[in-house]
Chain A
């Protein structure tokens, strides 16, 4: 296991839009122990992405602290222990698939990775034969898979993903979920996955966190205890569906929810 702990302690963040303060995160605390897999669910625009951007030092918290391995996220990012995949594949259009996957090494100032390493990653995300293709020649789903390969390329200790499978169709999504689980089990990077797919969250994570509408607060913290490795048969399991339904009710707007304390 190579995961490093990630923690949010009493974090608040607001943006000012045309002079009005917009509270996005309000006094939120979340501990992701080393090697854990946490899924974040919540209504659109609730501040999930802001949490991820705070952990990447792309934003600075107004109050509280975000730490990776007990240090500043910025130094963790600079040292290259963090891997990231955004909702938007963010590929450089003038670079080939291979060269896009190599980009983090160049930014980090590391030695050029071995060709075999890149080839393995490309094969892993099912893009063998497209090594020299440019992003413009790929479909949306293929581009997203390049982004995932790039996130894994630096062998990260902390893996942050913002709806990385959002652009994929259901079948491909399931397949990528399986692969991700496989990779995660092998190296156990501390993983934070933002998703809209309740089943994806339950299938992959040790723990599902449900956030309230803006400002983001934790309304439910649900441990997922299914045995690993989890096969596709889990998707047809009654307990799996019960959990998905329960989480679904947390996501519905309106009052009258069981207290989160009863589950945590």
Chain B
């Protein structure tokens, strides 16, 4: 009964906010009509549907093909990583790059190196790969140890284990990976349409409509893109829920823990690390050889080194790159920190009044599925083209991801822990201080690592589309000047920057976790 009432309350809140939007639009409250009423957006959308449909179909096509290919590769990779753990270590560099890569930076590179259609599908597939791969691998590795022993006891090999146990066990995990992957595929397809010269696609449509001061058109495109992504998300979520139902673990595992694997020597670990770092560059080089592209257009790793460090272009390239980095890095970090801070505050607030979570989560969900590119022009409409718009976008991308992670983390704290301190008469503040805050420490870092690549992407998109500053702008300009060296350089530097920030967050986490946090470890 309570659940039904809760749902009603949430629904009421959401409807209330939508109504507020309509009223605000009708009365032109926001920045002189840049937030049109919902009814206006929909009327325009319906009346222009004939114009929309080829774009929608084009984007749907590249996104779904990318979704399929990316997922096939992701699941195959997860199978390999699970069967031969050494491969996972060798591909760690590629995997981290796949996770942290700002898609906007590689989009121009892909457009240069590949045929337009293939580039769009590839970028969508690239963004799909990581979420599905990690989910699938986690699902395979989390198979019940008792069932693993059983199959092994009947002489089952690693392949039999994979076939009878791990693959099926991973299914619900894979489905939840799809929930992240589906919106990512749409984002990838749209980003690769940017500057690809493609005639059709929502990205092309969006760029084409950017110059016209027609907020309702931009909102219409944004909402359509969100609807496509949301549909993919919803389908995956339904499938995942179905799967989880029959997959619920029924046994509390009491199997003996696996004996610790013999720890590798320092030397062997160093070798694996070196291989993991070198492999992405090797693959990059090999792909270019294989594609037989002109070295002027398609830069090899050495080509980029030459352009940036040793060649005659070096001085000018370095100057422009450092100027751009000096603009991009501070705002990325600042935006992420503010986003995390807001998320933390709201997560704590949602603790004392759960209604906050219920009201915010549906919107968090929408922004999670909303392709970032579709959001940016709308933010430009409302906030102008200054630093504010970059910050707003960065904060909003990082905030919602972090908020969801933190709320989920809080939900994992056992109720008994709160009941215990309640018994001793602890106030709400005390409960937060004693339990929620220490427990949230590890989730903050999870959130930070998730948020950092998103923050960089947000900043770069804002710079490209709105502010004309930093790395994003450098990339856009270089496209205009056909400065291929700089396009490749920005792509590589932004990936490396993203990895660096990601590793720094990991380092900060490691450094903090050396000091004991009261009880924060026991809920791992």
Complex Cα distance, B250 from A192, in Å, reads 26
Within 8 Å CB of B248, what residues of A? 93, 136
Whether A80 and B259, one on each chain, are in contact in the complex, defined by CB atoms closer than 8 angstroms, is: no
Q: Is B311 an interface residue (CB 8 A)?
A: no
Picked from A17, A80, A134, A138, the residue with its CB within 8 Å of the CB of B154 is: A80
In whole Å, how far is B258's beta carbon from the nearest beta carbon of chain A? 10
Whether B153 and A56, one on each chain, are in contact in the complex, defined by CB atoms closer than 8 angstroms, is: yes
Within 8 Å CB of B144, what residues of A? 90
In whole Å, how far is A116's beta carbon from the nearest beta carbon of chain B? 22
Q: Is B199 an interface residue (CB 8 A)?
A: no
Q: Is A1 an interface residue (CB 8 A)?
A: no
Count contacts on A: residues with CB < 8 A to the other chain.
39
Whether B246 and A107, one on each chain, are in contact in the complex, defined by CB atoms closer than 8 angstroms, is: no
In whole Å, how far is B289's beta carbon from the nearest beta carbon of chain A? 43
Q: Is B266 an interface residue (CB 8 A)?
A: no
Q: Is B152 an interface residue (CB 8 A)?
A: yes
Among A71-79, A117-125, A182-190, A235-243, the one that faces the other chain is: A71-79
The closest CB in chain B to the CB of A52 belongs to B153
Complex Cα distance, B155 from A108, in Å, reads 7
Given contacts A94-B247, A135-B250, A136-B250, contact A86 B255 (CB under 8 A): yes
Complex Cα distance, B252 from A154, in Å, reads 26
The closest CB in chain A to the CB of B161 belongs to A107
Whether B254 and A87, one on each chain, are in contact in the complex, defined by CB atoms closer than 8 angstroms, is: yes
Complex Cα distance, B259 from A18, in Å, reads 10
Count contacts on B: residues with CB < 8 A to the other chain.
28
Q: Is A41 an interface residue (CB 8 A)?
A: no
The listed residue with most A CB atoms (<10 A of its CB), out of B165, B248, B259, is B259
Complex Cα distance, B251 from A89, in Å, reads 7
Picked from A15, A49, A50, A103, the residue with its CB within 8 Å of the CB of B164 is: A103
Q: Is A59 an interface residue (CB 8 A)?
A: yes
Within 8 Å CB of B53, what residues of A? none
Picked from B149, B155, B168, the residue with its CB within 8 Å of the CB of A79 is: B155
In whole Å, how far is A20's beta carbon from the nearest beta carbon of chain B? 11
Within 8 Å CB of B155, what residues of A? 74, 77-80, 107-108
Q: Is A91 an interface residue (CB 8 A)?
A: yes
Segment 243-285 of B: residues with Cβ below 8 Å from A: 246-256, 259-260
Within 8 Å CB of B259, what residues of A? 15-16, 59
Complex Cα distance, B256 from A59, in Å, reads 11
Q: Is A106 an interface residue (CB 8 A)?
A: yes
Complex Cα distance, B254 from A87, in Å, reads 8
Whether A58 and B149, one on each chain, are in contact in the complex, defined by CB atoms closer than 8 angstroms, is: yes
Sort A-B residue pairs by CB-CB distance and give the 9 closest, nearest first. A78-B155, A90-B146, A88-B146, A56-B153, A77-B155, A107-B154, A107-B156, A135-B250, A90-B150
Q: List 21 A-B contacts (CB under 8 A).
A: A50-B256, A56-B152, A56-B153, A74-B155, A77-B154, A84-B154, A88-B254, A89-B251, A90-B144, A90-B147, A90-B150, A91-B147, A92-B164, A92-B168, A93-B250, A94-B168, A103-B151, A103-B154, A107-B155, A136-B248, A143-B250
Q: List residues of chain A with CB under 8 Å of any chain B CB.
A: 15-18, 49-50, 53, 56-59, 74, 77-80, 82, 84, 86-94, 103-104, 106-108, 134-136, 138, 143, 154, 160
